[in-house]
Amino acid sequence: MTFQGNGPLDTGGVSAGGSGGGGGFGGGRIALGGGVGLVVTIVALLFGLNPGDILGGGADPGRQAAPGGQDASSNQALQEHIDSCTIEKANTDDVCRIVATTNSLNRVWSQQMKGYTQPKTRIFSGRINTACGAASSAMGPFYCPADQTAYFDPSFFADLKRMGGSDGPLAQEYVVAHEFGHHVENLTGVLAKGQRMGNAGSVRIELQADCLAGVWAYHADKGPDAMLAPLTEEQIQTVIQSAQAIGDDTIQGSRSNPESWTHGSAAQRVRWFKIGYRNGNPRQCDTFSTNDL
């Protein structure tokens, strides 16, 4: 168990989607992923390309889901699932865990950041259209600054485990917190700054998002309105295991080339999460002011 208390969750900013057809979104925009295993995907995102075209998972412009058809029915069922989420369900259900984590993140960041505005969250399956282009589940979770929305296919959690990460509750919540970290970076202007720096900027962006996820974890189990029960060292270790699994050097293997990294090494990802979790101070997450990543 990670969430404490009972009752319904705020689902106002969370919606269902996926397996939709139709293009119609402009190019040249950036989506940021949380650490999928396909480096080509991240490179595509950084340069504003349509990752669906590269992965073969993009929407077919000639295919539109018929009203009341399978896609609409599936999305309606998923939306009903989302709307039924409670704190109790968040401890056993992946979809509801995403919803509960968004509630906790919005609560923490509204306290930690002046001018914080809540992002939207889309939970999808298969394929989805975004303001950053068509995307597929093969990308893993990502954040699109053009529509200020974080996108999650819950099937990624099983993929993360297969990659050597953990599918434990806090590890899943770390994935969500990382994407919300990109939203915080978008609000502060860090995303635009990193974009101008190529891969080097991407690494700093991703490590900062890991640090901001740590900041959330520090605050999420504290105070009278804390949604998370006190975190244990065992739970933190599941996050570390997952951060190690999605380090660029882990993913690329023995021929890993630091110049091609987009997210940082396993050690760097763990280090920056720990920095955020150790002190809970977002100002300590400035990966752009140090040469010691």
pLDDT tens digits, one per residue of 27-61:
334 456 654 333 333 333 333 333 433 333 333 33
What's the average model confidence in pLDDT over 142-146? 94
**Can you state the angle between helices 169-188 and 94-112, rounded to 10 degrees?**
40
Bridging pattern class, strands 120-124 and 14-17 = parallel
C-alpha dihedral (225, 122, 207, 250), degrees to nearest 10: 120
SS3 123: strand
The values of phi and psi at residue 118, to 5°, are -75, 135
Q: Would you state the pLDDT for residue 106? A: 98
Q: Please, where are the H alpha helices in the chain?
A: 39-46, 51-55, 70-83, 94-112, 156-162, 169-188, 190-195, 198-220, 233-245, 248-252, 266-279
Cβ proximity of 193 and 134 under 8 Å: no
Q: 213-237, pLDDT tens digit by residue?
A: 999 999 999 999 999 999 999 999 9
Note the pTM of the prediction, 2 decimals.
Answer: 0.86
Give me the residues paired with residue 127 across strands. 136
Single-letter residue type at 1: M
Q: Would you state the pLDDT for residue 19? A: 59
**Can you state the angle between helices 233-245 and 198-220, rounded to 10 degrees?**
170
